């Protein structure tokens, strides 16, 4: 979502006549996009501000803006913590950045915009600003109404707002014409996609607006469609049926569970039990194609006991995740959980993190090894960072795949036969080249 916001900010600035520079040294304006989901990410922004060229030497100080969740939540306090900052740009003010810069140029100081998005703003990102010429993020819903007790997102991003499907479908068709091969429909909880109007969905069946949207997007013929993030309670089995029906809906589901203990899930206010979650997983495992499954887990939530943690280990053992993002609980001021005493010592959190990581690593190794000898479809995205003669891309099941190939293949979907499983990626040869 942050990458999509940066793309949107860059598009708006370019439309207003600004150019993007390669280095902060040459910049007249420096914008820092921020995340506040965990404390470490939040603290990073202050370090980064101190690193902006011009600040230390005081020669040519650019205008500095802080955007994103930290801006929304900290507001005025940012000016106190970092006096070099000129603009605080809330999560819904992205489109107004050029106006704020105009005001700075006219001599105004310390500008802050935490207002809502203006009515009628369209999400229009120009292709030059996209992070990749082949893969595009398409936000379908912003904000979150779930209020999980540990999470800051409902406060930083506000209530859920879905974009209308006709606008989304136009965007997807445009991306397809421009040669994009893969789109990610994104949102904090895509399953609760609920547009104000059904325009664009009328020709597509489905049990929920989201599964209708999936079918409608699939019908555009975009070669690969992925979506993230799903929320267990809202994950309707019809999503799996839609994936079964349309080969361009990719074989990957990211379904964060957060914990395997019912007691902890309740304190997290997730609204489901471990067995509710497992029922969703069973449905996912009955899909016609094997769907890759990934998840997020928080260890060391307040009052998590060794027994609670063992339930998490058990669940992770049963789910057979293709990959897992593990986080140590981080207290976020203003969330309901911040009122609970964060009583799991740091040492215990680290210990649980490492134990869970090692269980996952072992499972993941087995899953990845099963790919050896199989052929997967890979979108060749860019040269590999590790080898000058290799390219890197993602499979439809969202695994990183490296393979020998030259840059003429970039942007193409190729068949790669897997020859080796690494810890977090696969290695292979183009099927025709073998």
Binding site for ligand SF4 (CB under 6 A): 144, 146-148, 151, 153-154, 188-189, 231
Residue 144 binds which one of ligand 5AD, ligand SF4, none, with CB within 5 to 8 A depending on kind?
ligand SF4
Distance (Å, whole) CA 252 – CA 184 = 11
Parallel, antiparallel, or unpaired: how do β-strands 63-68 and 87-89 relate?
parallel
Strand (E) or helix (H) holding 186:
strand 182-186
Binding mask 133-172 for ligand 5AD (x = CB under 6 A): -----------------xx---------------------
Task: Identify which range of 202-210, 276-284, 324-332, 350-358 contacts ligand 5AD by CB under 6 A.
Answer: 324-332
Q: How far is the CB of 335 from ligand SF4 (least distance, A)?
A: 9
Whichever of 260 and 428 has its CB closer to ligand SF4, that residue is 260
- Residue 296 is inside which H or E element, if any? strand 292-299
Q: How far apart are CA 21 and CA 19, in angstroms?
A: 6
Which range in 243-251, 264-272, 326-334, 355-363 contacts ligand 5AD by CB under 6 A? 326-334
Q: Which C-beta is closer to ligand SF4: that of 151 or that of 175?
A: 151
SS3 at position 187: coil
Nearer to ligand SF4, 154 or 317 (CB): 154
Pairing of strands 323-328, 375-383: unpaired
Query: Considering the complex, what minimum distance in angstroms separates the CB of residue 391 from ligand 5AD?
Result: 29
- Least CB distance from residue 145 to ligand 5AD, whole Å? 16
Q: Are 85 and 66 in contact (CB under 8 A)?
A: yes
Which is nearer to ligand SF4, 147 or 325 (by Cβ)? 147
Asked if 296 touches ligand 5AD (CB under 6 A), the answer is: yes
If the CB atoms of residues 211 and 258 are measured against ligand 5AD, the closer one turns out to be 258
Give the HSE-up count for residue 141: Cα atoms under 13 Å, Cβ half-sphere: 24
Q: Which is nearer to ligand 5AD, 167 or 296 (CB)?
A: 296
| Residue 53 C-beta: closest distance to ligand SF4, Å | 35
How many other CB atoms sit within 10 Å of the CB of residue 167?
A: 15
If one asks whether residue 258 binds ligand 5AD (CB under 6 A), the answer comes out as yes
Sheet holding 182-186, edge to edge: 135-139, 182-186, 224-228
Count, residues in the chain: 434
Q: Which is nearer to ligand 5AD, 38 or 382 (CB)?
A: 38
Residue 332 as a binder of ligand 5AD (CB under 6 A): the answer is: yes
Query: What single-letter DSSP state applies at residue 219?
Result: T
Reported as half-sphere exposure (CB side, CA atoms, 13 A), residue 164 has a value of 12
Measure the CA–CA gap between 237 and 407, rounded to whole angstroms.
40
189 binds, among ligand 5AD, ligand SF4, none (CB under 5 to 8 A by kind): ligand SF4
CB of 298 to ligand 5AD, least distance (A): 5
Strands 87-89 and 111-113: parallel
CA-nearest of 424, 378, 371 to 404 is 378
For residues 312 and 359, the answer to whether their CB atoms sit within 8 Å is no
**Footprint of ligand 5AD on this chain (CB under 6 A)?**
37-38, 150-151, 256, 258, 296, 298, 327, 329-330, 332
């Amino acid at each position: 979502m942050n990458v999509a916001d940066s793309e949107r900010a860059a598009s708006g600035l370019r439309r207003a006549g600004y150019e993007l520079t390669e280095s902060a040294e040459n910049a007249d304006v420096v914008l820092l996009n921020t995340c506040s989901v965990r404390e470490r990410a939040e603290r990073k922004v202050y370090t980064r501000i101190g690193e902006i060229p011009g600040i230390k030497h005081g020669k040519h100080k650019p205008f500095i803006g802080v955007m994103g969740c930290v801006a929304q939540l900290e507001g005025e306090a940012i000016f106190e913590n970092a006096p070099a900052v000129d603009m605080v740009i809330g999560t819904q003010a992205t489109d107004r950045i050029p106006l704020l810069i105009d005001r700075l140029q006219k001599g105004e100081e310390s500008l802050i915009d935490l207002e809502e998005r203006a009515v009628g703003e369209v999400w229009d990102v120009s292709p030059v600003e996209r992070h990749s010429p082949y893969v595009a993020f398409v936000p379908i819903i912003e904000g979150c109404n779930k209020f999980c007790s540990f999470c800051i997102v409902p406060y930083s991003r506000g209530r859920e707002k879905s974009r209308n499907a006709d606008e989304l479908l136009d965007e997807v068709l445009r991306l397809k014409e421009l040669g994009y091969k893969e789109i990610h429909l994104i949102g904090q909880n895509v399953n609760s996609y609920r547009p104000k109007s059904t325009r664009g969905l009328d020709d597509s069946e489905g049990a929920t607006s989201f599964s209708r949207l999936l079918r409608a997007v699939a019908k555009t013929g975009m070669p690969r469609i992925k979506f993230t993030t799903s929320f267990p309670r809202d994950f309707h089995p019809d999503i799996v049926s839609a994936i079964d029906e349309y080969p361009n809906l990719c074989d990957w589901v990211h379904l964060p569970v957060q914990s395997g203990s019912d007691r902890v899930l309740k304190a997290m206010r997730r609204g489901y039990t471990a067995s509710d979650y497992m029922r969703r997983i069973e449905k996912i495992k009955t899909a016609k194609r094997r769907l890759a499954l990934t998840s997020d887990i928080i260890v060391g939530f307040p009052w998590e006991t060794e027994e609670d943690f063992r339930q998490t280990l058990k669940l992770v053992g049963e789910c057979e995740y293709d990959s897992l993002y593990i986080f140590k609980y981080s207290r976020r001021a203003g969330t309901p959980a911040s009122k609970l005493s964060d009583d799991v010592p740091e040492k215990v959190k680290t210990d649980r993190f490492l134990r869970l990581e090692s269980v996952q690593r072992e499972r993941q190794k087995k899953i990845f090894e099963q790919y050896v000898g199989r052929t997967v479809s890979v979108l060749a995205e860019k040269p590999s960072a590790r080898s000058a003669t290799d390219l890197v891309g993602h499979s439809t099941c969202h695994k990183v795949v490296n393979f020998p190939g030259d840059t003429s293949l970039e942007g193409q979907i190729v068949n790669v036969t897997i020859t080796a499983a690494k810890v977090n990626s696969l290695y292979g040869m183009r099927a025709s080249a073998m």
